Each structure stands twice: as structure tokens, then as C-alpha cells.
Amino acid sequence: MVKIDTTGLESFIPEQEIFSLLEKTKNPTKSRVKEIIAKSLDKNRLSPEETATLINCEDPELIEEIYDGARTLKQKIYGNRIVLFAPLYVGNECINDCAYCGFRVSNKETHRNTLTMDQLQEEIEALESLGHKRLIMVYGEHPMYSPEFIRDTVLKTYATKVGKGEIRRVNINAAPLDVEGFKTVKSAGIGTYQIFQETYHQETYKKYHPSGPKSNYLWRLYGLDRAMEAGIDDLGIGALMGLFDWRFEVMGLLYHTIHLENKYKVGPHTISFPRIEPANNTDLAENPPMGVSDDDFKKLVAILRLAVPYTGLILTAREPIEIRNVVMSFGVSQIDAGSSIGVGDYSHKDEDAFKKSQFLLGDQRSLDDVIRELATHGFIPSFCTACYRLGRTGEHFMEFAIPGFVKKFCTPNAILTVSEYVYDYGSPETIKAINAQIQRELDNFEDQKIKKELQDKLVRIANGERDLYF
């Protein structure tokens, strides 16, 4: 087990300052809101005061201004691309007792399981056979899920290939480790290491995390600091919306971003903002303490987009299809698709999958259906892993992102990866939709040199080559 030591650490989430800012920025003027949105559209991160001001917008006209600003900013930085991934639950053993989680140690109705290496291979082959290229591997917090175990499962994932399928990027959602543990996991060639604080409000955190290593707020809060010290500069933060006031949580996410920027000169690569969803035998998940309405959820997504222009926003399949379709345009850059969160459920469908799962999914469409609908709505799906594999992470990523290179390089790479999908996995209806969207993207391409290179690479993919990128 990791030895937990938080000696000398203090929270960098200034709770009273947050409450004060949320109070004093109430009833903002239209001119002030416009001024803040304009700052964001110049690709500048917002201050806590500016973010609190947007949070306090209640006038429907001002909220529409926020939505419009978020849409415009997304187009400026990310274009039409949406990165796709799938979650892969490796094991649901856990020694924590988080009140909202179906995996909590006291939940005797959970069907516990940890994939063997052979079972892991079956899961990966099933995912690859559907066309997946990017995974986030998820582990409960338990002594059996050591840094060495995580490393070995990642290496197994990369080594497993079926047909033309392969996993090119593995991200991790697991317990906070010590520095040496993070170094071990890094050695497997992971992408992002993701740790959700769940709630940044300490009293609420204490209430809903009564026992287990996760009950230590500061150990978790500083988890990604230790990851940075271990050389992992691609980080994901998140809050579980519904435990405490969403307004406070948005501010907490911003202060966490600022902390990482100030200390390491690079903020998180991604921010997640899932809402609490029903979970097996879990009353709190059925009735969240401070549930977030659909309208507030849409608003918080748009505000996060404006507050942190260069940070990827992840929208999970917890959300129903209708909400996913609406907020996609507000600045979301990554979604999961064709997801299953039952341990072992990709390769062996199970009627009792809910009892093996952490919560209930709202969007259960297949990967092919999601890809087709994205293209139909004017998005270009992406399985791109180029930045990660070329070392464009951390500060290097920001060097590319800030001048607008994300859109310049990531859109061509999205086209290349989804073109692979068309040839290897797409249904006839999806092939038609994707080809039409690719043509629209090519018609609007401004850089003629890259367009020519892209068209050449598309011909090579049509002729059977794979894994081409800028």
C-alpha cells in the first residue's frame, strides 16, 4: 500500500474567497459580461472574479451570450473535431466507502471482479474489433491494483492487436499514487493520468468519503502534483457535480487549474464534470444532495469552456443523448462512445452488468451510431493520438495550442483517423455520413499545403496504409 503523508500540505482551494467572489459578483451588467467573453475569445484564461461573474448570470439574454461565446471559442481553437475514447474497467475491488459509488466497500450487492490478463486481452480485442483506438482504463482503489499491476495491464493493452485494430493511447483513471508509483505507471507509456477530486468543498468531501485512503482530502488534492514530479505532464482533473453547489465546484476546478499553472507552468490537459447518476444499491446516487438541472449543466459547460480556453473538456456517456447533443457545441472536445462500464462486459455481455458497474449510463449508443450522428451534425470524429506520441504534451502542447496549431494539425489528424474507421469498421450509413463531412472539411480548408499533404495521405489510407498523421 502507498504510504499517505500530507505533512506540511495546505489546501490551495480558498473556500472563503470563493464564497466571497460568488457573492460580490451577483447581478452583473451586460457590458461586464461582454467584456469577459471578449477576453476569453482572445484565448486568455479567465480570473476567478471573471468566472464568478459569468456564473452569476441569470438573465436569459446574457446566458445566450455565454453560449454563443463558448461556441465561437470552440471553433477558434478546436474546429469541428470531437475526440472519441472508451472506458475500460479493469477491476472494481475497492477499500473506500464513498457514499455515492456503486463500488464502495460496504456495498454487498456489487459483483466484484478483476480481469485476468487473458480476460483483459478479450476485452481489448472486442474494443479493437469495433474500431476503438483510445481507452481510459479504470481501477478501483485496492492493494491489488498496485502501480506494477497498472503498468502491466497497460503494456498488455498496447501489445494486443486484432486485425487492423490497435490501441494507440491509454489514459488512466486510478487512485492517487506516491511519486515512485507514478513513475512506474509512466514507464508503460500512458497518456493522461486522471484524478477527480469529486468535490472541492472540504466539509462535504469529509461527509461523503467516510473511510478508506480516499477520505484524505489533501492526499487526493495533491495527487497530480506528485504525478507532475514523476514526469507525467498530461493531467486530467474533475468534479462530480451534485455533491455540492456546482458554482463552487466550477470555481474549485479553476483554482486547481491555476495552482498547476503557477507551480508547473502548465494546467490540466482535460477537465471532466460528470453529474451523479444512479448506481446499484446506492440511495445517495438516486437523490444527489445538490443535483444539477439540465439548464445549469449546460451553463456550467459553457462557462468552463470560456474560463479555460486551452483545456480539453470531457463529456461522458453518463449524460443522456439529448443533453450530449446540445452541449457538444459549447466547447466539449472529447466524449466516450460505445461505452460499457461493467467489468468484462465488452467481450461477455451480462444481464447483471449493472451490478458490476459503478453507475448507470445515459447514452448507450454504439460507437458506429455515435460516429454517424456526429458527422450528421457537422462534427468530425477523431481517434488522433499524434500529440501524445510525438511528445506534444505539457508545456510542448501549450506551445502548439496557443498559436492555434491545435486546429491546424488536429483537424487533419481527425480526418485521417476517421478515414481509417470508414475503411475498416464503418457501416454503409456511417461511411456515407463520414465521407460527406470529410468533404465539407476539405472544402473549408485554408492551408493549401497541408490540404495537399492530407489528400495524399488519404489516398495512402485508401490503399491500405494505416497510422498516418501530422
Q: CA-to-CA distance for 204 and 179, rounded, in angstroms?
A: 27
For range 377-383, the mean pLDDT: 96
Share the mean pLDDT of the chain: 94
Taking the alpha carbons of 451, 394, 252, 179 in that order, is the dihedral positive or negative?
Answer: positive
Does pLDDT of 403 surpass 60?
no
Does pLDDT of 185 surpass 70?
yes
Burial class of residue 128 in the structure, from the number of CB atoms within 10 Å of its CB (0-12 exposed, 13-18 middle, 19+ buried): buried
Among 113-122, 126-135, 254-263, 351-360, name the one with the lowest average pLDDT: 351-360
Question: Which single residue is written with the C-alpha cell 501549450?
Answer: 398
Distance of CA 344 to the CA centre of its chain: 22
Percent of the chain having pLDDT more than 70? 95
For range 113-140, the mean pLDDT: 98
Q: What pLDDT does 406 receive?
A: 63
Q: Quick check: 425 and 372 in contact, CB under 8 A?
A: no
- Please report how the helices 294-307 and 60-78 are oriented relative to each other, as an axis angle in degrees rounded to 10: 50
- Which set of grid coordinates corresponds to residue 318? 453518463
Phi and psi for 230 in degrees, rounded to 5?
Answer: -85, -5
Q: What pLDDT does 36 receive?
A: 98
Q: What pLDDT does 350 receive?
A: 74
Q: CA-to-CA distance for 363 and 286, rounded, in angstroms?
A: 18
DSSP states of 68-96 as a string? HHHHHHHHHHHTTEEEEEEEEEEE-----
Does pLDDT of 438 surpass 90?
yes
**In terms of Cα–Cα distance, which of 197, 293, 321, 176 is closest to 249?**
197
Q: What pLDDT does 360 receive?
A: 80
For range 380-400, the mean pLDDT: 74
119: Cα within 13 Å, side-chain hemisphere? 13
Q: What pLDDT does 3 receive?
A: 80
Neighbours of 21 (CB within 10 A): 21
- Which set of grid coordinates corresponds to residue 91? 477491476
Q: CA-to-CA distance for 302 and 306, rounded, in angstroms?
A: 6
Q: CA-to-CA distance for 388 and 364, rounded, in angstroms?
A: 28
User: What does each C-alpha distance from 355 to 280, 281, 320, 392 come to in angstroms?
Assistant: 6, 9, 20, 39
Residues in the chain: 470
Does pLDDT of 355 surpass 90?
no
Q: Quick check: 311 and 267 in contact, CB under 8 A?
A: yes
Q: What pLDDT does 356 receive?
A: 74
The one-letter amino acid code at 378 reads: G
- Please report how the helices 428-443 and 367-376 are oriented relative to each other, as an axis angle in degrees rounded to 10: 40
Assign 2 a pLDDT band (cuts: 50, 70, 90). confident
Query: Cα torsion for 260, 264, 267, 272, to the nearest 10°?
Result: -50
Q: Kindly report, residue by residue over 315-354, the tens digit of the pLDDT.
A: 999 999 999 999 999 989 999 999 998 899 999 887 676 7
Q: What pLDDT does 154 receive?
A: 98
The one-letter amino acid code at 391 reads: G
The one-letter amino acid code at 421 reads: Y
User: What does each C-alpha distance from 443 to 281, 437, 464 come to in angstroms?
Assistant: 52, 10, 24
Q: Quick check: 383 and 419 in contact, CB under 8 A?
A: no
Long-range contact pairs involving 44-48 (C-beta distance under 8 Å, separation at least 24): 44/309, 45/257, 45/261, 45/267, 45/307, 45/308, 45/309, 45/310, 46/254, 46/306, 46/307, 46/308, 48/17, 48/18, 48/21, 48/251, 48/254, 48/255, 48/258
Q: Kindly report, residue by residue over 205-237, the tens digit of the pLDDT.
A: 999 999 999 999 999 999 999 999 999 999 999
